[in-house]
Amino acid sequence: MENKKTNKMHLLTIFPVKECVLIVFLFPTFIFLLRCSSGTENVGSEKAEGSIDTTDFSQDDIVQEETVLTDIPTDVITDPSPPRCPQESYIWIANSAEGTLSKLCTITGEEMARYYTSPQEAVGDPSRTSVNLHGDMVVTNRNPQTGPSSVTKFAANIHDCIDRNGNGRIDTSMGPRDVKPWGEDECMIWNTPLPDASATRSIGARATAWDGTEDPETGEGGNVWIGSVDTQQFFKIDGNTGEILVSGSLGIGAYGGAVDGRGGFWVVAMGCTIGLCRIARLDMNTFQVTPYNVPCGYGISVDKWGRIWTAGLGCVNRFDPASQTSQTLNFPVSTHFNRGIAVDNNGYVWAAVTSGNVVQVTEDTVELVNDFHVGPADVVGVAVDFQNFIWAVSQGGNEAIKIDPVTYEVQEFPVGQGPYTYSDMTGFQLHNVIVI
């Protein structure tokens, strides 16, 4: 989406050249006006690339030159600088301890932006993130210290941000030290509270997933599905507007969630006991809920065959809904509290381990390939990016860890305080189950 301002001239710079003044304007092309004391003018043009600062300029001497530019369109398009992130490939990590969200480039590891995620700012308690087919993201705020749980959408591409204050440019974070006050970052698209009956208390919202019905090119359409722990509810939210379209009962406290590309939103319960966990499939068309028991649960993901993967205390499990059977890989309970889980496109499944490890498992046979250390303790989440690298979130180290899936070499990148994300934080899991 392009943001436009009409009927304004925009100044890049003014500087003297001996007895003349060189004035540079930006339209779809650079326009150079050389104004000299003799009153003569030399006008040149050059194709423009780069950022636009749409600062208004209204001095009388500039207005006199408007006749020179009558054949130039007066619409000004706010355009970003050349992308700092090649391929615009991002991972979105919620920093629960400070109420913010870090947007990292998966190519370079640079933190491109940091945002408050709720009106509660530092005490908003964000956690699960989910990325749609266009690259836009929602983050769910679990248990804010004051006020209800909520869901917030951010645009990944500056063209999709909104010039709310009408100043002709997009005001948005440009890095970890540039966190705008709540409501002032124009790449925040909407925020939807999820109140309980009193409209004041949080509902423990956690499970979060886009359904993949949005247009990959424009981002239009699509819905966000949320599950709550405390009230055991589900919510269907319009991805364009943030409006709650449907809500109902899940009958299960939804800790994590993922879609299967076959019309189902799967959730895993919080508080599994060893050997007995509950998962459930919500039919996103009929809203019918079908529960199942599995031997392992905490993190959840779905592979391209529609099989449900869960990780938990001493286990990784694959559940086949067609046969309603499980295949489980067991680990020592004392060393392996497995958390988030993700499926790549090369035949492997990866799970985060609280101790600081990541485990690699074969997708077809559910056998262990590797169990290796990646960083400080409290590794809580794992994800796959579109270059097939693996990412782990270290809550103990306040960092994101990029892992080469072949050599197992790691790179560590700082994020905010207390990062705590288990979900599809790159959008790769959604792409893996949706046929585009």
C-alpha distances out from residue 107 to 11, 84, 247, Å: 34, 10, 38
In terms of Cβ atoms closer than 10 Å to its own Cβ (0-12, 13-18, 19+), residue 102 is buried
SS3 50: coil
User: 167-225: per-residue pLDDT in tens?
Assistant: 999 999 999 999 999 999 999 999 999 987 666 689 999 999 999 999 999 999 999 99
CATH class of 90-434: mainly beta
Q: How confident is the model at residue 26 (pLDDT cuts 50, 70, 90)?
A: very low
Q: Quick check: 17 and 7 in contact, CB under 8 A?
A: no
Strands (E), 41-183: 41-47, 76-78, 90-95, 100-105, 111-116, 126-131, 137-141, 149-154
Over 80: is that where the pLDDT of 311 sits? Answer: yes
Q: How confident is the model at residue 270 (pLDDT cuts 50, 70, 90)?
A: confident
What pLDDT, on a 0 to 100 scale, did the predictor assign at position 435? 74
Over 90: is that where the pLDDT of 141 sits? Answer: yes
User: 403-436: per-residue pLDDT in tens?
Assistant: 999 999 999 999 999 999 999 999 999 999 997 6
Q: Quick check: 131 and 427 in contact, CB under 8 A?
A: yes
Quick one: how far is CA 208 from the chain centroid?
Answer: 11
Q: What's the predicted TM-score (pTM) here?
A: 0.82
Secondary-structure percent of the chain, ordered helix, strand, coil, rounded to 5: 5, 45, 50
User: 388-408: per-residue pLDDT in tens?
Assistant: 999 999 999 999 999 999 999
Q: Quick check: 5 and 54 in contact, CB under 8 A?
A: yes
SS3 428: helix
User: 29-84: per-residue pLDDT in tens?
Assistant: 333 344 444 333 333 333 333 333 433 333 333 333 332 333 323 332 345 454 68
What pLDDT, on a 0 to 100 scale, did the predictor assign at position 83? 62
Where do the domains of the chain lie?
Answer: 90-434
Over 60: is that where the pLDDT of 267 sits? Answer: yes
Sign of CA dihedral 417, 423, 428, 431: negative
* Beta strand pairing call for 348-353 and 338-343: antiparallel
Structure-block tokens of residue 152: 């917030």
User: 151-165: per-residue pLDDT in tens?
Assistant: 999 999 999 999 999
**pLDDT, mean of residues 110-123:** 98
User: 328-380: per-residue pLDDT in tens?
Assistant: 999 999 999 999 999 999 999 999 999 999 999 999 999 999 999 999 989 99
SS3 97: coil
What pLDDT, on a 0 to 100 scale, did the predictor assign at position 211? 98
Sign of CA dihedral 172, 176, 180, 183: positive
**pLDDT, mean of residues 88-92:** 96
Structure-block tokens of residue 122: 């530092």
What pLDDT, on a 0 to 100 scale, did the predictor assign at position 67? 28
Quick one: how far is CA 68 from the chain centroid?
Answer: 46
What pLDDT, on a 0 to 100 scale, did the predictor assign at position 275? 74
